[in-house]
Amino acid sequence: MVPYADLLAIRCPERLFSWSEREAMLYALGIGMAADPLDPHELPFVYEKNLKVMPSFATVAAWGSNPPLAAAKVDYTRVVHAEQGMTLHRAFPSSATIRAVGGMTAAIDKGDGGALIYGETELRDADTGEAYATLAVTWLARADGHFGGPRDGVSAPHMIPDRPAELSFDIATRPDQALLYRLSGDRNPLHADIDLARRSGFERPILHGLCTYGLCCRAVIAGWADYDPLRLVSQTARFSAPVLPGDTITVDMWRDEDVVSFEARVRARGVTVIRNGKAVLQAK
């Protein structure tokens, strides 16, 4: 990996991104909204009449705008998406043109455990400069420790309350969920190519981590915000295991004032796929 100072100098190539109601609806379908097309709560996210935009659409609105890992000269075959965060500054409209600006913000040298690399991207209106969202991503570069960076500074994970979950949502994914979700931007062949998935140690192509992240956002909005996307202020989570398309995901949630803690698991396989989840809501 490049020296620490050079890593922090890596910036996103500034680019414009646009979306229309089509992309907003396609994203909602990609995270399984309106699987029951008669559901009056979820239909507004996939129907252009008074269209609502999911808050987690922020993660795909400027797909490819993250700071380039290639410039960090890491072994990309051993990089995993470790954490994702988003802070929402205003409602996402059904169509807009935005400018993405950001870069690397920090890196932690874990020695034999690799490197944690942090990036941040701001999504701003192309004309007014008003901020829509700030995205934070953490990558674990498993083969790139011992690069001379700081050994500490990792923020403590959000702690899940030590009590039974107050609300649980079961969300069934479709066998073709990854093929639908990838149309929102992430064309990584790991999510479509059977041979590549098996060479990577999976029985079949896996679901995108950000799709599972969107499913958790969907559960929070449904469970605690009356399907009002404007209520969500921020969401962070750690990815802990892959989801296979066709899995049923159980999102367990705890509410403490304006904070909803959450984790997600696949009960049939006995694995937790999202840990340390935290969503912040604003009052009605």
Distances (CA, A) of 239 to 67, 162, 213: 19, 20, 9
CATH architecture for the domain at 167-281: Roll (3.10)
Q: Is the pLDDT of residue 283 over 90?
A: no
DSSP 205-234: PPPPHHHHHHHHHHHHHHHHSTT-GGGEEE
Mean pLDDT estimate for the chain:
95
CB half-sphere exposure, 44, CA atoms < 13 A: 12
Query: What pLDDT does 256 receive?
Result: 98
Active-site hit among 75, 152, 176, 191:
191
Between 36-45, 66-75, 161-170, the lowest mean confidence (pLDDT) is in: 66-75
Q: Where are the beta strands (DSSP E) in the chain?
A: 15-19, 79-88, 96-109, 115-125, 131-141, 167-172, 232-239, 248-256, 259-266, 271-281
Q: Is the pLDDT of residue 284 over 90?
A: no
**What are the tens digits of pLDDT across the range 235-281?**
999 999 999 999 999 999 999 999 999 999 999 999 999 999 999 99
Of 14, 3, 235, the closest CA to residue 103 belongs to: 14
Q: How far is Cα 144 from Cα 149, in angstroms, rounded to an integer?
A: 11
Q: Is the pLDDT of residue 115 over 90?
A: yes
Active-site hit among 186, 208, 247, 252:
186
Domain boundaries, the chain: 4-141, 167-281
**What are the tens digits of pLDDT across the range 206-234?**
999 999 999 999 999 999 999 999 999 99
Query: What pLDDT does 129 receive?
Result: 96
In 3-state terms, the chain is what percent helix, strand and coil (to 5)?
A: 25, 35, 45
**What are the tens digits of pLDDT across the range 179-204?**
999 999 999 999 999 999 999 899 99
Q: Do domains 4-141 and 167-281 have the same CATH topology?
A: yes
Q: At what angle do helices 209-224 and 21-30 cross, to 10 degrees?
A: 90
Decide: 104 and 117 in contact? Cβ < 8 Å. yes
Residue 191 catalytic?
yes
∠ CA 195-197-201, rounded to 5°? 115
Between 56-60, 77-81, 115-119, 238-242, the lowest mean confidence (pLDDT) is in: 77-81
CATH architecture for the domain at 4-141: Roll (3.10)
The model's pTM: 0.96
Q: Is the pLDDT of residue 70 over 90?
A: no
DSSP 143: T
Residue 41 catalytic?
no
Query: What pLDDT does 237 receive?
Result: 98
**What are the tens digits of pLDDT across the range 6-31?**
999 999 888 999 999 999 999 999 99
